[in-house]
A and B are shown apart, each in its own frame.
Chain A
């Protein structure tokens, strides 16, 4: 509600500023079209943008994509452009398929394009290669609902033990060890998982299998590997299930945690609460995946980092773009839209709408360089 209102207000304000600027310009319509760009977005000149821009892919970034496309269309309209941006949350796999067959101009995906896909991209990408940009970082919180317990410190081994079903009571000594001050009840632990296939599950289990391979033996998986148990459909189903029980624990988009307690996770010697900064830092401390082109920015998340203040359970979603677009109107539109997404303004819009962690300035400028290199026509 609030976000929506804010958006409306800001749109109205933009419209007003645009109108004022136009009237101030009077008769001289010399190349000042970018000057009225009140928001200070990465590149002005939205007035030239027309047509349709279609994207599809991961549902994880759906809320962010909706926020981006809405405010971006608002920006272009305020300058007299006429561009429609749509995003269809068909799932990462389908999104990449549609992108590589030329049905959509960009894709959102939880997994970057692989070697084979990159090789096949020349056909639809005007003989250039496609590339990925990390645009959406979402911290995954470990949420719990235990009467009388507000905060909890958990080591990776304990989390893995709980979700694998080996630690079954909240008064287990393994939990008490890292929570000397908490008054842990004699209560059954009810682990809750996602019943649908989900990138959240995949990132969470990847974290478990890398940090506690002995306790979590199922590897990184998209579909929950253990039969039975409590589960919920989608993030909202997960949250309502955890809220509905006592002694429940689950994992979910941190932005959706609501009133539930969120556990601090052991990183190195410390216990780290999730925060936008700590999540963005997880991407910054991680190395780039090797063997990729310079513009193809794919991070190999370092889940086992011991660096201070890093929250390693994050989900990173990518934007897949072509290195070159044959249709110049479309190409310009893609460049402008992608620039908006990686700009601090766009990242802030996503943080408000979807609770994501904005990417760091450094990463943002690297992404911008890659976008600027897209050739058009």
Chain B
């Protein structure tokens, strides 16, 4: 967004700085190209937004909320999906953030340099694995492995609403989907956090050490406060991926449409993206329009979350 804003300014100020030689062809070609690229992003985004809006109008006007008589309700259809999407992503983040921060700290402050670069490379590789592969892995290999854990949690911690209910094998439930989502967002959060931790001013760290702080105290008093904004931004990036993740959820989760908190129960939740993927093959007319409407909701949801992330980063920025 900022590219498009600043590019025209540069162009305007160009004659001043280059008054002696005049403009060269390369400059104008480059400025046209960069403005074009900047605008292209806008146009694409606008095209997606317009498509989603116009295509979902038939569903909106035909829904019970607007026509008063239709058999389907936008809210009843969409809200459980939104709930499932957000719940799955939130649990995924809850699992992924502590692990990611740990890995990032290990790479930036504990590991020997050679090992650190190797490990960093591996984490980046993890980010390159296609989601359908994670889906296969999760559905075929991980789900049976998680079963004993779920049974344990359900038996001994069933008094916590999250682990209550009656899980049945195979454990194609929200918890499994969240675990796989956590693995998927882990590399993103780790990579960004690592970069932020490496930016910690060397002098501050050395000052803390000189004052007698242990390594852990240094990290707690210097590195973590400095990197907080970065970790939040990284988490939001990860959340964006988790919200929109389709294949892995589709392949692992046995869907349902409720507001149940019982993440071990099968057939209780579904995510927007997975629902669109599974229903769109045979959908036409209003059904398709309804799916596109849920897509619009997801689009707006990710925007809101990105905005919140930016706000948090901006707020915590000056402190560091």
Contact = CB atoms under 8 A, between A and B. Distances in A.
A and B associate in one complex:
yes
B102 to A, nearest CB: 32
Contacts of A302: none
Q: How large is the interface on B (under 10, 10 to 19, 20 to 34, 35 or more residues)?
A: 20 to 34
B283 A197 contact: yes
Contacts of B139: 240
Interface stretch (A31-39, A92-100, A303-311): A92-100
Contacts of A245: 168-170
B267 A190 contact: no
Q: How large is the interface on A (under 10, 10 to 19, 20 to 34, 35 or more residues)?
A: 20 to 34
Interface stretch (B4-12, B149-157, B226-234, B251-259): B251-259
A90 B267 CA distance: 27
A244 B267 contact: no
B282 A92 contact: yes
Interface in B103-150: 139-140, 143-144
A233 interface: yes
Given A196-B278, A244-B169, A245-B170, A232 B283 contact: no
A241 B281 CA distance: 21
Contact of B170 (A229, A233, A244): A244
Interface in B276-293: 278-279, 281-285
A244 B283 contact: no
Contacts, number: 80
A272 B125 CA distance: 52
Interface in A214-268: 222, 227-234, 237, 240-241, 244-246, 248
A91 interface: yes
Best-buried of A59, A89, A92, A240 by chain B (most CB within 10 Å): A240
A198 interface: yes
B254 A232 contact: yes
A91 B278 CA distance: 12
Interface string A160-179: 00000000000000000000
A244 B254 contact: no
A97 B254 contact: no
Interface string A176-198: 00000000000010100001111
B54 to A, nearest CB: 18
Given A188-B168, A230-B170, A241 B254 contact: yes
A100 to B, nearest CB: 12
Contacts of A232: 172, 254
A351 B170 CA distance: 31
Nearest to B254: A231
A233 B249 CA distance: 10
A240 B281 contact: no
11 contacts: A97-B284, A196-B279, A199-B282, A230-B170, A231-B254, A231-B256, A240-B170, A241-B254, A244-B169, A245-B168, A246-B169
Given A197-B282, A229-B266, A230-B254, 12 more contacts: A91-B284, A97-B284, A188-B168, A196-B278, A197-B283, A227-B257, A229-B256, A230-B168, A230-B266, A234-B278, A241-B172, A241-B254
